[in-house]
Structure 1
């Protein structure tokens, strides 16, 4: 697991994080992270928990998020994410916790 929550980090999420093939938990909440969620994150096939809330992430939820087949918790609330929830996310059969409020997301949950 990588826990860098509330560490005063700034900048973007490095695409190289997608290369940590055995990563199960990623905590980056309460930092000043900007930019979008890199598509390389979809390579984290073992990821179970992803906490990116209370950062400054913008853009949309990447459709490739559906490749995170072991994902159980996804917390993206309190950011600047827009658009809709990709229909592909309906394939995440293990997802138990989806926290998206305080964004500009519209539409329905797949």
Structure 2
């Protein structure tokens, strides 16, 4: 399953229920007004390969649980208000 809602004028937060879409392989939410934090429930997306959240006012830290995304190939978060450190397992992306 691929979901690309990039540049669609979205606002609000990333719902924690997103983690229930177990077959999701691609999530694109770039260039929107998505705010809040990255929910730890994203770690349940075991098939996720591509996560594009850049150019949003997302804040907080990258949840350490994100390191459980063993299929993740590309994670792009630039142009956000994210702080803290990158979980070590994600440094190789």
Quickly name the TM-score band, shorter chain normalised. over 0.9
- Aligned partners of 1:8 and 1:40: how far apart in 2? 23
**1:49 shift after superposition:** 0.2
Aligned to 1:85: 86
Q: Residues 1-110 of structure 1 correspond to what in structure 2 (within 5 A)?
A: 1-89=2-90, 95=93
Q: Runs (4+) of structure 1 moved beyond 3 Å? A: none
SS at match of 1:41: helix
- Aligned partners of 1:27 and 1:65: how far apart in 2? 16
Deviations 1:7-40 (A, max 9, x none): 0000000011100000000000001011000000
SS at match of 1:26: strand
Q: Which has the higher relative contact order, 1 or 2, with Cα contacts under 8 A spaced 6 or more apart? A: 2
Structure 2-normalised TM-score? 0.94
Structure 1-normalised TM-score? 0.80
**1:88 shift after superposition:** 4.0
- Aligned partners of 1:62 and 1:79: how far apart in 2? 15
RMSD: 1.1
For structure 2, the residue ranges without an aligned partner over 5 or more in a row are none
**Greater C-alpha Rg:** 1
- Aligned partners of 1:82 and 1:11: how far apart in 2? 19
**Size of the alignment, in residue pairs?**
92
For structure 1, the residue ranges without an aligned partner over 5 or more in a row are 96-110
